[in-house]
């Protein structure tokens, strides 16, 4: 029995060194050489300073910006230190109530737009950090953003199209628009 | 269901099936008794390792010795993870200065990772230091998976060997599973994930200024216990970092499922693109599917392996389609509002609560089925927010005993227990001693197989009954009505089948839940391993019975159908009443 315990202990130690030290160090080394931008968080850099990550959504509530997916993180939306979803069940009245609030907020920001709201703008994302919205959700907001910014509507829609990614390899996932990059592009457009 | 939904499911199944034979035959070489190209190449490393650890590679273990080695090794691992969490505040690689994990949570987590369950009562990015993640959790990801493969290989040897007293050497099986199978695959997959955007570094969390500053209201009690609210400005965003890719690769390949971040594979740093999502799903089923072929090759008849795989697919495919269809149909509660949930070229529509835009419905729904068919438990959408029928699918896939693919190794040895039960039932029909793979199935084998089939069922049912009837259990529930009961049922189904996914609304980081689920995870893992090894020991000692006209062939569609029926009937008879109180009741009430 003591031989078995010694073997167990030594095997655990050896395997810990291999899979817990050598392996992650090897992956880190290779990743930092081959894909340094991705390995360090896909940061978006403007004027030499990071202003966010292309993969992590930020909260936008100003009508001049495109709004992203609702986020259920606490204490504030899009909290990078506490990812997670709402975990509201489909039949929970709280889910319907918060969906109503989101519809009202969108309509208050864009009076006169009575089109039904794309579902991804009224439902919280799984991570609370979803960086993207559907092209339908971008199209729904394009007229509002154009009006508030005093830009021609087709100019804004052209920008949306430029930041729309199709399905990966033509099949996988869904078409999507990166909200942070789109909003930064809008700001850059008007700075000039 | 849209055309693209079908295309994504079809493509996934085709790619998976194309990989079964190459991966399966490679593993058959890795675990072959005779030296071959693969084991010769790694022999020098193995020799050094065995010398350092005082292991005699030539020692062929009887089942009891094998089981003792499994238990000693895994319990030591469990203890190591517990201790590491308790002292992480004094150790390096803790840039966020996290304190010690509370004893109950640390115990639950240690059991969870040592049993290949990876149920998570904690949030990774706010609890665990980089060192704990790397040296404790990721190591158990490897070793619990390697243990599953080793036990499976030993069980298969029980069928393959004739008149033998031994079923292999645990240390050799463990080492080979880790070095030749899990490590190389993980390394390749980790780099692929990084290329898609998964982080891999040792930096502290990054603070970035946000484009649009905002604020939130924080209420607290002042000295006189009056409520005071203040506006807290938000001008920066914290971006979590860490050695994530290396851990996420093995989290999927080893069907572990424990996320580096709280949101698991829904987190953009853990699963950034549809391609990374596809690879993560593939990695979950790759080894469980490939091992079916390995099993066939080891017993000398690959048709036996294909028959088992066909059974798994027969149950899996319709349930995967069902999950996607239910989510695509959307949530009727939102139908009355001004919401556009229609699928089209510009949006996936459907039930998007708890789902990520890049995955939409198809990539999320398929993931739901994959992660619960296998005992992985990684999630790329919040299962608690699935539609009632969309949530029933993962619950039932777990309740079937995690044998439809199941965990690496553990899924297949569970399915072999069901196969033994199936030939026994067929034998009863014609009044003949049942045989499987040339071995007579007698009372001892039946007892062990029944134990393996029934113990998880009992844990789910009894555990749910306890949790639903004591206040400490019901206190954790987040959603009202039938859905609240579903949260309890889901948690027990997950823990008692070593899956690890959750209806995450349940507040399970409490003494009651940590203890109850800890017990379930432990009992669902180690007693089953011992039972299966005992069966293997007795099978190995038996003589080979040549097939006769009265032998039931076990590679035919007839047997596939029989085996699928046995799995489904056991799962349905045991769990339909409980399911009727949870997801089915919620469906009936919400649909009309």
pLDDT digits over A90-148, tens only? 999 999 999 999 999 999 999 999 999 999 999 999 999 999 999 999 999 999 999 99
Residue B1 has a pLDDT of 85
Let me know if B228 is exposed, middle or buried by CB neighbors in 10 A (0-12, 13-18, 19+): exposed
Q: Sorting pLDDT into bands at 50, 70 and 90, what band is B547?
A: confident
pLDDT value at B128 more than 60: yes
3-state SS, residue B232:
strand
Where do the DSSP E strands lie in B223-344?
227-239, 339-340
Provide the residue ranges of all domains of chain B, joining segments of one domain with +: 3-203+242-591
Task: Identify which of B263, B215, B208 has the alpha carbon closest to the alpha carbon of residue B237.
Answer: B208
Select from B69, B247, B355 the Cβ nearest to the Cβ of A4.
B69
pLDDT value at B592 more than 80: no
Q: Whole-angstrom Cα distance, residue A58 to residue B213? A: 10
With a CB cutoff of 8 Å and minimum separation 6, the contacts of B428 are none
How high is the mean pLDDT of chain B?
A: 95
User: Is the previous residue joined to A75 through a cis bond, with omega within 30 degrees of 0?
Assistant: yes
DSSP conformation class of B204: P
Work out the percent of chain B whose per-residue pLDDT is above 70: 100
For residues A25 and A88, membership in a common domain is answered with no
Q: How far is CA A89 from CA A127, A153, B111, B329, B508, in A?
A: 16, 38, 29, 16, 17
With a CB cutoff of 8 Å and minimum separation 6, the contacts of B336 are none
For residues A58 and A125, membership in a common domain is answered with yes
Would you call A11 an interface residue with chain B, using a CB distance cutoff of 8 Å? yes
Q: What is the pTM of this model?
A: 0.96
What residues in A contact B173, CB-CB < 8 Å? Answer: none
For residues A48 and A32, membership in a common domain is answered with no
Q: Whole-angstrom Cα distance, residue B66 to residue B168? A: 8
Residue A36 has a pLDDT of 97
Q: Count each helix (H run) and each strand (E run) in chain B, helices first.
A: 20, 5
3-state SS, residue B503:
coil
How distant is the alpha carbon of residue B558 from its chain centre? Answer: 29
Pairing of strands B339-340, A117-118: parallel
Q: Whole-angstrom Cα distance, residue A179 to residue A60? A: 9
How distant is the alpha carbon of residue B533 from its chain centre? Answer: 21
For residues A68 and A159, membership in a common domain is answered with yes
Q: Whole-angstrom Cα distance, residue A62 to residue B480? A: 34
Read off the pLDDT of each residue in B497-518 and give the average, rounded to a whole number.
Answer: 94
Residue-wise pLDDT tens digits, B392-409:
999 999 999 999 999 999
For residues A107 and A174, membership in a common domain is answered with yes
Q: Do B262 and A118 touch (CB under 8 A)?
A: no
| Cβ count within 10 A of residue B565 | 13
CA distance B309 to chain A (A): 25
Select the residue from A173, A186, A190 to test the B interface by mutation, using most B Cβ atoms within 10 A: A173
Q: Sorting pLDDT into bands at 50, 70 and 90, what band is A192?
A: low
Read off the pLDDT of each residue in A36-60 and give the average, rounded to a whole number.
Answer: 95
Residue B433 has a pLDDT of 85
Select the residue from B95, B239, B331 to test the A interface by mutation, using most A Cβ atoms within 10 A: B239
- For residues B500 and B257, the answer to whether their CB atoms sit within 8 Å is yes
CA distance A44 to chain B (A): 10
Q: Sorting pLDDT into bands at 50, 70 and 90, what band is A190?
A: confident
The answer for B51, left when phi > 0, alpha when psi is -120 to 50, beta otherwise, is alpha
For residues A152 and A184, membership in a common domain is answered with yes
| Cβ count within 10 A of residue B171 | 25
For residues A65 and A12, membership in a common domain is answered with no
The helix (H) or strand (E) run that includes residue B340 is strand B339-340
Residue-wise pLDDT tens digits, B201-235:
999 999 999 999 988 988 887 877 888 888 899 99
Residue B228 has a pLDDT of 85
Q: Whole-angstrom Cα distance, residue B169 to residue B71? A: 14
- For residues A18 and B246, the answer to whether their CB atoms sit within 8 Å is no
3-state SS, residue B32:
coil
3-state SS, residue A56:
strand
Q: Do A127 and B356 touch (CB under 8 A)?
A: yes
Structure tokens at B319: 């349930």
Residue B452 has a pLDDT of 96
For residues A36 and A47, membership in a common domain is answered with no
Residue-wise pLDDT tens digits, B350-399:
999 999 999 999 999 999 999 999 999 999 999 999 999 999 999 999 99
| Cβ count within 10 A of residue A37 | 12
Q: Do A24 and B275 touch (CB under 8 A)?
A: no
For residues A52 and A33, membership in a common domain is answered with no
Q: Do A51 and B272 touch (CB under 8 A)?
A: no
Q: Sorting pLDDT into bands at 50, 70 and 90, what band is B456?
A: very high
Domain membership of residue A18 as a residue range: 1-40
The helix (H) or strand (E) run that includes residue B131 is helix B130-131
Structural domains in chain A (count): 2
Residue B591 has a pLDDT of 67
Read off the pLDDT of each residue in A4-19 and give the average, rounded to a whole number.
Answer: 96
The helix (H) or strand (E) run that includes residue B562 is helix B557-579
For residues A180 and A118, membership in a common domain is answered with yes
- For residues B45 and A14, the answer to whether their CB atoms sit within 8 Å is no
3-state SS, residue A4:
helix
Q: Whole-angstrom Cα distance, residue B61 to residue B46? A: 18
pLDDT value at A47 more than 90: no
Task: Identify which of B134, B125, B85, B405 has the alpha carbon closest to the alpha carbon of residue B251.
Answer: B134
Q: Which of residues 26-85 of A touch B (CB under 8 A)?
A: 26-28, 30-32, 34-35, 38-43, 49-62, 65, 69, 75-85
Buried b (16+ CB within 10 A) or exposed e, B306-344: bbbbbbbbbbbeebbbbbbbbbbbbbbbbeebbbbbebe
Residue-wise pLDDT tens digits, B295-352:
999 999 999 999 999 999 999 999 999 999 999 999 999 988 999 999 999 999 999 9
3-state SS, residue A92:
coil
Q: Whole-angstrom Cα distance, residue B427 to residue B421? A: 10
Task: Identify which of B411, B378, B389, B397 has the alpha carbon closest to the alpha carbon of residue B315.
Answer: B397
Q: Whole-angstrom Cα distance, residue A68 to residue B330? A: 20
**Count of A-B CB contacts under 8 Å:** 402
């Amino acid at each position: 029995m003591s031989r078995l315990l010694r073997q167990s202990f030594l095997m655990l130690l050896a395997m810990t060194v291999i899979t817990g030290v050598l392996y992650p160090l090897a992956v880190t080394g290779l990743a930092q050489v081959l894909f340094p931008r991705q390995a360090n968080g896909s940061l978006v850099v403007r004027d030499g300073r990071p202003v966010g990550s292309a993969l992590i959504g930020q909260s936008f509530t100003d009508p001049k910006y495109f709004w992203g997916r609702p986020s259920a993180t606490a204490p504030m939306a899009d909290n990078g230190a506490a990812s997670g979803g709402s975990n509201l069940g489909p039949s929970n009245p709280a889910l319907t109530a918060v969906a109503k609030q989101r519809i009202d907020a969108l309509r208050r920001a864009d009076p006169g737009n009575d089109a039904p709201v794309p579902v991804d703008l009224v439902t919280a994302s799984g991570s609370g950090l979803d960086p993207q919205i559907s092209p339908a959700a971008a199209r729904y907001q394009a007229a509002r953003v154009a009006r508030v910014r005093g830009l021609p509507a087709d100019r804004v829609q052209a920008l949306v199209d430029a930041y729309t990614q199709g399905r990966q390899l033509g099949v996988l996932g869904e078409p999507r628009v990166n909200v942070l990059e789109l909003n930064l592009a809008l700001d850059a457009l008007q700075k000039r | 269901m849209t055309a693209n939904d079908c295309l994504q499911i079809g493509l996934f199944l085709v790619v998976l099936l194309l990989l079964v034979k190459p991966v399966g035959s490679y593993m058959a070489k890795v675990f072959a008794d005779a030296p071959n190209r693969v084991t010769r190449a790694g022999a020098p490393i193995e020799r050094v390792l065995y010398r350092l650890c005082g292991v005699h590679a030539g020692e062929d273990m009887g089942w009891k010795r094998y089981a003792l080695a499994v238990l000693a090794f895994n319990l030591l691992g469990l203890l190591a993870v517990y201790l590491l969490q308790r002292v992480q505040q004094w150790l390096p690689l803790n840039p966020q200065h996290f304190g010690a994990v509370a004893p109950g949570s640390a115990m639950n987590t240690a059991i969870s990772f040592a049993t290949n369950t990876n149920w998570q009562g904690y949030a990774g990015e706010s609890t665990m230091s980089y060192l704990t993640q790397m040296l404790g959790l990721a190591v158990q990801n490897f070793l619990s998976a390697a243990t599953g493969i080793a036990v499976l290989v030993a069980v298969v040897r029980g069928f393959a060997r004739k008149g033998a007293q031994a079923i292999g050497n645990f240390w050799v099986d463990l080492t080979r599973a880790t070095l030749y199978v899990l490590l190389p695959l993980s390394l390749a997959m980790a780099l692929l994930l990084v290329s898609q955007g998964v982080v891999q570094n040792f930096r502290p969390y990054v603070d970035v200024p946000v484009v649009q500053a905002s604020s939130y209201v924080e209420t607290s009690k002042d000295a006189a216990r009056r409520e005071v609210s203040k506006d807290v400005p938000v001008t920066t965003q914290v971006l979590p970092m860490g050695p994530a890719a290396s851990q996420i690769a093995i989290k999927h390949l080893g069907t572990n499922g424990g996320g580096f971040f709280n949101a698991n594979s829904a987190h953009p740093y853990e699963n950034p693109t549809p391609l990374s999502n596809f690879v993560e799903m593939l990695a979950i089923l790759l080894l469980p599917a490939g091992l079916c072929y390995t099993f066939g090759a080891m017993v000398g008849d690959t048709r036996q392996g294909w028959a088992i795989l066909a059974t798994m697919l027969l149950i899996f495919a319709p349930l995967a389609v069902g999950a996607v269809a239910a989510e695509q149909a959307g949530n009727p509660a939102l139908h009355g509002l001004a919401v556009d949930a229609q699928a089209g070229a510009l949006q996936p529509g459907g039930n998007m609560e708890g789902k990520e835009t890049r995955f939409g419905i198809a990539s999320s729904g398929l993931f739901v089925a994959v992660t619960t068919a296998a005992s992985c438990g990684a999630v790329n959408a919040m299962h608690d927010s699935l539609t009632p029928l969309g949530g029933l699918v993962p619950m039932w896939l777990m309740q079937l005993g995690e044998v439809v693919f199941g965990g690496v190794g553990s899924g297949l040895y569970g399915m072999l227990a069901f196969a033994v039960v199936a030939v026994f039932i067929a034998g009863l029909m014609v009044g003949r001693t049942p045989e499987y793979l040339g071995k007579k199935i007698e009372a001892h084998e039946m007892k062990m197989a029944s134990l393996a089939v029934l113990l998880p069922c009992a844990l789910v049912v009894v555990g749910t009954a306890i949790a639903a009837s004591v206040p400490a259990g019901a206190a954790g529930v987040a959603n009202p009505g039938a859905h609240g009961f579903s949260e309890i049922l889901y948690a027990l189904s997950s823990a008692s089948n070593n899956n690890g996914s959750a209806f995450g609304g349940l507040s399970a980081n409490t003494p009651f839940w940590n203890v109850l689920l800890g017990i379930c995870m432990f009992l669902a893992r180690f007693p089953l391993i011992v039972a299966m090894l005992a069966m293997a020991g007795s099978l190995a000692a038996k003589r080979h019975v040549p097939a006769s006209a009265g032998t039931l062939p076990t590679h035919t569609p007839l047997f596939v159908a029989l085996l699928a029926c046995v799995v489904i009937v056991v799962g349905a008879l045991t769990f339909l009443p409980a399911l009727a109180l949870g997801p089915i009741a919620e469906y009936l009430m919400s649909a009309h």
